Structure formats: structure tokens, C-alpha cells
């Protein structure tokens, strides 16, 4: 069918790209102006409006929606804008180019977002929600770094603008891109995360270090030649394979196996924009159909989170997205003339081309821009430049197809677009169905605290400019669970292993601590470095008071000025004290309380922990909340507030007695946190789901009487008498066989993990095995028969 006939049959609401634009500047340019983000973006938007072939003001007046790609300066809660920025970037751009949109949108974080947003708003035009949309993105990281490093703060420009107006800010949407365990072990930035995946792939395909390095160079060298011809490229220099992979002063290793020249270049000043509208409006404005480009196919998928992926060497969601986009376009990969595959790191490209059967030297090339290491990686907006290039190619060759593959996170989110000047109505696709299949795949269980023999799964070493080195290891325990661990900075044995030809699959040993997991070449090596310490009480504690009275241990959190809130040092002391208590055969019962009459404990001392907030002993708050089993009784004597972590500590104890003025609560949700130190699990078990949900979701507190009624507290003392009551309870326990008490605790813990009631009861029979050979059992029966008080030995 002739193109004119195809055009005439289009639905008037069919979305069509009518303009694209790019702008850039380099510090070395003769006309470098140091533009702010809004000004650079406005240039790209103006260029895109003019690219329609109709006067830019005429097109601008029709734009009802402006969509911004989120910049790195606002991509996470920790991001900052050193030079300031408009409070409403989409409307700041609109103000500069004459647009007054009905709707302004700021997208989520991720390199997939330019394509994902274009797909979404193209569908919106087809549905009649919009008639004309401008999408844009910009980064001026190079200028910002230059100004911050070379201009006194008082002389720096201020790019703050108060624009106001409606803005649909979609937030970061970065949940799942990293975990608390990855963060505490330094696996939080893209560089080490991708290096971890790259080394896993090298092991899977069986390449030597030398051959793998060369393969990465062969993958990226052709891209550099494309960048050398691109006027918007940040580094327009053609590179040879040897230049890319040879390590020297200018091309240092930034994370094994990556050198500086084969990773994304984010210090750029680049912007790009796309004008999207309905066929009806394009006709009304008189835009030449020769400039129309259609989105023939599209798909959006997401990968499992890093720690849960069954195979760290590959991410099947990317190839699935490409295949589905081609299916929607009703073409095959061989029908595609132009390719742009997101190239922040080599493995991001390999992850797409390997399963699709594409070769690194495919004659079509794998980039339209020159790739992120050479063209540049303008934050989340790289693929907007790829789309602009794809539109230009489609116009030049109207019967051809261009494929853009955008990647977000750590090969976490993939968005794909198939572009052509061939007229076509909108096809909705079924990314949700593709995702259902992906989500059905098995996952791996992450393990926070890893201990014991393990297998090295993948790794990287990140060298510091000061000569330091950070070793990061992912491994599997015998049960198949996955952990992340660091290498101690002076553990030459472990670093030598990681520097060997292929350490993956090697047996190693891992040990957890308050500082995180640490990997060693063997248990013997770990013991040489950390000889086992025998638990023992110290002569002095800075943050805890301790008193022994026969078989009773009294422990007092001694930070009354901080409402007995715990910081790392106090947690460490309590952890050591309870280690010693559980190991001391002469101590049978412990009481834990707080100094003063205001608080048992107000939980985590956020004012004192700061960046060390994650440094909690592996045994949890107070050395109690994360212990799998407390082998001896611990009584919580709550003398005031038991809030947050303080409430969780009380919940971890076997018996809770309270002053009549005590109160209990989990206020974490009120400060943006969650009661993950046991509160979310133990509170429902203690007080029932209804009351627990009320407390957890609202921050509601229970007073002592309410806590007693709910089952959180077993006894209440008059004001000021809680320790007297706790000692009474302790003496009642001490009147019983300590062996029976310990075995009962063990049996209850074991039975608690068994859902079937009868099976759980049978599990408790195991207590008899120990009691039948216990001296205390013989003593108890003898004392009962002779009508005398028993003399317990604890044996």
C-alpha cells in the first residue's frame, strides 16, 4: 500500500513523533557558556519544536503536557543541587520556550525512563488524554563539578527559581535497586554492582582475564568511532581496543575488571527532547508527514533484585523486552536497520546481545550516539538522545526500523522502542504478561548474617586512589542462600585469591559481625586473624551497669540523659554482657532495666548513630533482638518508656514486668522507619494482629494496664517498685530447676517454628532426653519425695 494511503487510514489519535532536538556544550568549547540545566534543556526543547518544520511558537502553543526526565541531582533522597534549581523544572522549561502546559510531570529515577515515558505518553495520546506532549531531559554535571571545584562559594551562580504551579512528581521509585546489606558492604554504586555482574558473566562463558578484557575492548571500540563523528559527544575520540583495556596512569582500573575508559562518562552537559502529538493535530498544524515517525513496538520489563537473581551472570528481562517489542511491531530482529543498546558498562550490552544472537561486530553497529563511555551518560536521560538519533535515521530511510534499548538500575528495568517512518496505528502490547512469566522464575534467598563454609559466587575489587582497596564478595552458603561480604583491608590471602585467574566457585569461609560479613579463604585463616574469644564480663562498662547476686544477673542500661536509647557502643557492651551471661554456668536468670525512672529504653539513639546506624550487633539491639534462641531466662523490668527498639528489646525477653507508669510503642513509622528488629513479628504474636497493626501503623502507645490486658506484660508493679517485682519473679524462677527452665525454653523455641500442633507437641518431647540424664531431675524428684527444698546445681 502506498505511504499516502497508509497515512490516510490512520486513526486521528495515533501518536506520532514530529520533532527531536539535542543540545550540548563542553568545557573545552570556544563558545562554552556554562549553561544551567534549565537553559540547556530549553535549547533542546526549542530545537525539537523547530524540528517539526513548523514555527516553534506555533507548536509550543499546542503543548498540553510537559514531561521531564529526573536528573541525577534529584535521583535519590541523598541527592543535592549545589547550584540550586527550579522548583518545577517542566514549567521552567515551558516558561523559556513559550509553553503553558495543562500538565507537568517529573518521571522516576532510571536510565529506562526516557523510553518508558515516551511509551506511556504515546499511549495517553492514543487514549485521548493528551494531544501534544514534550518530553525532555538534561544534565550539566560537568559544569556543576567545574564550578564547585574552581569557584568560591560566594561567587557561584544561583540557579534557584520559584516557578510554582501544578507538578506531578512521581518520586524516585528506586526501591529494590539496592538493599541495606548491599549498602553496608559498599555495593551501592553502579560501578561495583556492574563489576560484580561482569565477573559472573566472565566465569560463565569461560574467558581468561586477558581474553575477557580484549572482548570488552572489541565491544566498545566501534562505539568510540561513532562518538568521534557525533557533534554532541562528550569524548569524541576514536579509541583502539588496546587503548581501552591497557591499564596505565590515564586508564586505571576503577573496579575489577573495568578500566576507566570502558565505563559510562557521566560528567557531561547534554540535553535532548522529543515532541509527540496526535496525527489529527499534526495535520492541523501542517506538519509534513515526511517528518512523522511512529512507535511501532514497545515493551517494559523489570529484573529480580540483585540479591535474589538466580543467576548473576545474566538478566533475562532485557532480552524478553526486546523480543516482545519486536513482536508488537510484527517484525524480526533481522528487519531492524539501526540499533542503540544502552552501554553504561560492557555487561549491560552483552546481557542484551548474547541471548539475541547479536555479535559485538554486527555490521549495523550497536549504538547510534557513540555509547555512554564516549558520547556520554547524561544521568537518566541518555536514551532520549538515542531516540533522537533513531528518529533522524528513520526519516532518512523511511522503510527502515530502529531499535532503542534503554536500561535502568543494575540491569533492573528495561524499556524498548521500535521506531519507523512507516505509518502504523498504535499497538498496545502486553508487557504485563511478559512480566508475569519473568516473575514466576525461582529466586534466591538473601542472608543478612552469614556464617560458615561458603562458595564464592562473584566479586570485585575497587582500588582507591590512595592505594587502598575494597573487596566485595557475593557468595552462597550450603543452604543456597546468598550473602554479600567484604574482605578485610589487610587480608592478603583473600585479595590474592580474588586476583587469581578465576576465583569464582572456590570454597571460602564467611563470618558475620556488627560491622557486616567478612570473607576469608578458609576457616583456619579466619581463626588465625580472629582467635575465638571466651565470653567474659569486664571490670568496667561505660554505658551499662551490672550487678551479680548469686545466680541472678541485673543489667541496667545507663544512659538516662538519652532516655536509655542505644548507640553502637552501648549495643556492643550489652551484646558482650549477654554473651557472658549465657556462657556463665553460675548465672541462671537475668533482669534488664533502664537507669532512672523515665525510660526503659527509647530505642535507637539516632542523634548519636548517624552513619553508624546500621552498626548493630549481629545479635540485634541490646544483643538480644536477633538471637535465634535465648537459652536462659531474661526478664525485662520496664520502668517508663519502652519505645521503638526499646519495645523490641522487651518483646525479645521471656517475661516483661512493668511499672504502672510504663508505656510501650513502636513509633518508627512516624519517622520514616520500620520496626524491623523484631517488632513487626513479635508484637503481633504477643498482643494479636488487631492491636499490633494499630500500634505499628499509627504509632499508638499502650500504657501498662493496656499492655497487661493485651498480653504484652505479665505483671504490673506500683510506681517505683518494678525492680522489686522483677526480683520476685526472678526468685520464683530460681526456685525451679534451671535445667528444666532451659530445656523448656529450648523446646518452646523449637516448637514455635512448627505449624502443625501435634508435630509441635512431639518436638517438645525432646526436652525429656536432656532431663532424664540431668542431676537436677534426680534432685527434684528426691527432694519432692523427702519433702525438702531442692538444691539445684544447674546440671
Could you please report the per-residue DSSP string of 730-748?
HHHHHTS-HHHHHHHHHHH
Average pLDDT of the residues in 263-270:
96
Q: Are 84 and 119 in contact (CB under 8 A)?
A: no
Active site residue 648: yes
Cα distance between residue 158 and residue 223, in whole Å = 37
Secondary structure E strands in 313-421 = 338-341, 402-408, 413-420
3-state secondary structure 117-169: HHHHHHHHHHCCCCCEEEEEEEEEHHHHHHHHHHCCHHHCCCCCECCCCCCEE
Please write the tens of the pLDDT for every residue from 369-393.
Answer: 999 999 999 999 999 999 999 999 9
Question: Is the whole model's pTM more than 0.85, yes or no?
Answer: yes
The per-residue pLDDT for 612 is 39
Average pLDDT of the residues in 455-466:
96
> What is the CB-side half-sphere exposure of residue 442 using CA atoms within 13 A?
6
C-alpha cell recorded at residue 696: 505499628
Please write the tens of the pLDDT for every residue from 310-364.
Answer: 999 999 999 999 999 999 999 999 999 999 999 999 999 999 999 999 999 999 9
Residue 766 has pLDDT above 90, yes or no: no
What sign for the dihedral angle of Cα 550, 552, 557, 560?
negative
- Say which CATH class 452-529 falls into: mainly beta
The per-residue pLDDT for 296 is 98
Beta-sheet strand order (sheet of 269-278): 15-24, 269-278, 132-140, 65-68, 103-106, 168-169
Q: How many CB atoms lie within 10 A of CB 187?
A: 26
Q: Are 25 and 305 in contact (CB under 8 A)?
A: no
Cα distance between residue 174 and residue 186, in whole Å = 17
**DSSP letters for 520-555:** ES-HHHHHHHSPPPPP---S--SSEEEEEETTEEEE
Three-state SS at 327: helix
Active site residue 668: yes
Bin 357: left if φ > 0, else alpha if -120 < ψ < 50, else beta: left
C-alpha cell recorded at residue 522: 578458609
Query: Cell 527531536 identifies what position?
Result: 20
Average pLDDT of the residues in 56-84:
94
The per-residue pLDDT for 93 is 98
Q: Which DSSP state fits 712?
A: S
The per-residue pLDDT for 795 is 79
Residue 779 has pLDDT above 80, yes or no: no
Residue 609 has pLDDT above 80, yes or no: no
C-alpha cell recorded at residue 357: 544472537
Cα distance between residue 349 and residue 380, in whole Å = 17
Beta-sheet strand order (sheet of 655-659): 544-549, 552-557, 589-594, 634-638, 655-659, 715-717
The per-residue pLDDT for 769 is 67
Active-site residue, selected from the candidate residues 668, 743, 757, 763: 668
3-state secondary structure 236-284: CCCCCHHHHHCCECCECEEECCEEHHHCCCCCCEEEEEEEEEEHHHHHH
Please write the tens of the pLDDT for every residue from 169-226.
Answer: 999 888 777 888 899 999 999 999 999 999 999 999 999 999 999 999 999 999 999 9
Residue 76 has pLDDT above 90, yes or no: no
The per-residue pLDDT for 101 is 98
The per-residue pLDDT for 613 is 46
Average pLDDT of the residues in 638-653:
96
User: Average pLDDT of the chain?
Assistant: 94
What's the CATH number of domain 544-734, 3.90.226.10, 3.40.190.170, 1.10.260.40, 3.40.50.300? 3.90.226.10
Cβ-proximal residues to 544 (8 Å cutoff; 6+ apart), any chain: 555, 556, 557, 558, 570, 573, 574, 577
Cα distance between residue 751 and residue 758, in whole Å = 10
The per-residue pLDDT for 617 is 84
Nearest to 677 by CA among 711, 658, 702, 651: 651
CATH number of 3-181+260-439: 3.40.47.10
Three-state SS at 408: strand
pLDDT band at 48 (very low <50, low <70, confident <90, very high): very high
Task: Calculate the alpha carbon distances from 422 to 296, 331, 717, 752 in Å.
Answer: 9, 13, 82, 65
The per-residue pLDDT for 3 is 80
Query: Cell 496526535 identifies what position?
Result: 278
Output helix, strand, coil percentages for the chain, rounded to the nearest 5: 40, 20, 40
Q: Are 113 and 45 in contact (CB under 8 A)?
A: no
Task: Calculate the alpha carbon distances from 162 to 95, 98, 108, 159, 165 in Å.
Answer: 12, 17, 22, 10, 10
Helical ranges in 269-331 per DSSP H: 279-284, 316-329
Cα distance between residue 208 and residue 676, in whole Å = 43
Active-site residue, selected from the candidate residues 457, 554, 573, 648: 648
Query: Cell 563489576 identifies what position?
Result: 195
Amino acid at each position: 500500500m502506498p505511504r499516502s494511503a497508509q497515512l490516510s487510514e490512520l486513526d486521528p489519535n495515533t501518536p506520532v513523533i514530529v520533532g527531536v532536538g539535542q543540545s550540548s556544550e563542553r568545557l573545552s568549547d570556544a563558545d562554552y557558556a556554562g549553561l544551567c540545566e534549565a537553559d540547556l534543556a530549553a535549547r533542546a526543547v526549542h530545537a525539537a519544536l523547530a524540528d517539526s518544520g513548523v514555527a516553534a511558537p506555533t507548536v509550543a502553543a499546542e503543548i498540553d503536557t510537559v514531561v521531564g526526565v529526573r536528573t541525577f541531582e534529584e535521583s535519590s533522597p541523598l541527592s543535592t543541587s549545589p547550584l540550586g534549581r527550579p522548583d518545577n523544572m517542566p514549567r521552567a522549561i515551558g516558561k523559556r520556550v513559550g509553553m503553558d502546559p495543562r500538565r507537568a510531570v517529573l518521571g522516576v529515577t532510571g536510565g529506562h525512563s526516557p523510553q518508558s515515558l515516551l511509551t506511556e505518553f504515546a499511549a495517553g495520546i492514543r487514549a485521548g488524554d493528551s494531544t501534544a506532549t514534550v518530553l525532555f531531559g538534561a544534565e550539566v554535571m560537568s559544569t556543576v563539578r567545574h564550578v564547585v571545584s574552581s569557584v568560591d562559594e560566594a561567587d557561584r551562580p544561583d540557579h534557584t527559581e520559584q516557578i510554582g504551579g501544578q507538578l506531578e512528581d512521581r518520586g524516585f521509585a528506586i526501591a529494590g535497586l539496592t538493599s541495606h546489606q548491599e549498602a553496608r558492604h559498599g555495593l551501592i554504586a553502579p560501578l561495583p554492582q556492574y563489576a560484580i555482574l561482569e565477573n559472573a558473566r566472565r566465569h560463565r562463558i569461560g574467558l581468561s582475564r586477558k581474553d575477557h578484557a580484549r572482548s570488552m575492548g572489541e565491544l566498545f571500540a566501534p562505539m568510540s568511532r561513532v562518538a568521534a563523528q557525533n557533534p554532541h559527544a562528550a569524548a569524541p575520540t576514536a579509541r583502539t581496543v588496546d587503548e581501552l583495556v591497557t591499564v596505565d596512569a590515564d586508564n586505571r582500573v576503577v573496579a575489577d575488571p573495568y578500566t576507566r575508559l570502558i565505563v559510562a562518562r557521566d560528567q557531561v552537559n547534554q540535553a535532548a527532547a522529543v515532541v509527540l502529538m496526535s496525527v489529527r493535530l499534526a495535520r492541523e498544524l501542517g506538519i509534513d508527514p515526511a517528518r512523522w515517525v511512529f512507535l511501532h513496538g514497545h515493551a517494559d520489563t523489570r529484573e529480580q533484585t540483585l540479591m535474589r537473581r538466580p543467576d548473576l551472570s545474566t538478566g533475562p528481562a532485557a532480552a524478553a523486552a526486546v523480543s516482545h517489542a519486536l513482536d508488537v511491531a510484527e517484525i524480526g530482529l533481522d528487519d531492524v536497520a539501526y540499533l542503540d543498546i544502552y552501554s553504561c558498562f560492557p555487561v549491560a550490552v552483552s546481557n542484551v546481545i548474547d541471548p539475541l544472537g547479536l555479535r559485538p561486530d554486527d555490521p549495523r553497529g550497536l549504538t547510534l550516539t557513540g555509547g555512554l563511555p564516549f558520547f556520554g551518560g547524561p544521568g537518566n536521560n541518555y536514551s532520549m538522545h538515542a531516540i533522537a538519533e533513531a528518529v533522524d535515521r528513520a526519516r532518512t530511510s523511511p522503510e527502515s526500523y530502529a531499535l532503542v534499548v534503554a536500561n535502568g538500575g543494575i540491569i533492573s528495568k528495561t524499556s524498548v522502542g521500535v521506531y519507523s517512518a512507516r505509518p502504523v496505528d498504535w499497538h498496545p502490547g502486553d508487557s504485563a504478561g511478559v512480566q508475569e512469566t519473568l516473575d514466576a522464575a525461582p529466586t534466591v534467598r538473601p542472608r543478612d548474617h552469614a556464617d560458615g563454609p561458603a562458595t564464592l559466587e562473584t566479586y570485585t575489587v575497587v582500588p582507591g586512589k590512595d592505594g587502598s582497596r575494597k573487596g566485595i564478595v557475593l557468595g552462597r552458603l550450603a543452604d543456597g542462600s546468598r550473602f554479600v561480604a567484604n574482605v578485610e583491608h589487610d587480608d592478603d590471602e583473600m585479595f590474592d585469591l580474588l586476583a587469581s585467574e578465576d576465583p569464582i566457585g572456590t570454597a571460602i569461609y564467611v563470618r558475620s559481625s556488627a560491622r557486616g560479613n567478612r570473607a576469608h579463604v578458609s576457616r583456619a585463616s579466619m581463626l588465625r586473624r580472629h582467635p575465638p574469644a571466651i565470653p567474659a564480663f569486664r571490670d568496667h562498662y561505660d554505658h551499662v551497669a551490672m550487678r551479680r547476686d548469686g545466680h541472678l544477673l541485673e543489667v541496667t542500661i545507663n544512659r538516662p540523659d538519652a532516655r536509655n536509647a542505644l548507640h553502637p557502643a552501648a549495643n556492643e557492651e550489652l551484646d558482650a554482657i549477654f554473651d557472658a551471661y549465657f556462657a556463665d554456668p553460675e548465672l541462671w536468670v537475668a533482669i534488664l532495666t533502664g537507669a532512672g525512672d523515665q525510660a526503659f529504653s527509647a530505642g535507637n539513639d539516632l542523634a548519636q548513630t548517624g552513619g553508624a546506624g546500621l552498626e548493630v550487633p549481629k545479635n540485634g539491639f541490646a544483643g538480644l533482638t536477633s538471637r535465634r534462641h535465648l537459652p536462659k531466662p531474661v526478664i525485662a523490668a520496664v520502668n517508663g518508656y519502652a519505645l521503638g527498639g526499646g519495645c523490641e528489646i522487651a518483646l525479645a525477653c521471656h517475661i516483661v514486668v512493668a511499672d504502672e507508669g510504663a508505656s510501650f510503642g513502636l513509633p518508627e513509622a512516624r519517622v520514616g522507619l520500620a520496626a524491623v528488629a523484631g517488632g513487626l513479628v513479635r508484637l503481633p504474636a504477643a498482643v494479636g494482629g488487631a492491636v499490633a497493626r494499630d500500634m505499628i501503623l499509627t504509632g499508638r502507645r499502650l500504657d501498662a494496664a493496656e499492655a497487661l490486658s493485651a498480653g504484652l506484660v505479665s505483671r504490673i508493679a506500683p510506681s517505683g517498685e518494678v525492680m522489686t517485682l522483677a526480683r520476685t519473679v526472678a526468685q520464683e524462677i530460681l526456685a525451679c530447676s534451671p535445667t528444666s527452665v532451659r530445656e523448656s525454653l529450648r523446646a518452646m523455641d523449637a516448637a514455635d517454628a512448627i505449624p502443625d500442633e501435634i508435630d509441635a507437641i512431639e518436638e517438645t518431647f525432646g526436652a525429656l532426653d536432656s532431663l532424664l540424664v540431668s542431676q537436677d531431675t534426680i534432685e527434684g524428684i528426691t527432694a519432692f519425695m523427702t519433702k525438702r527444698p531442692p538444691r539445684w546445681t544447674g546440671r
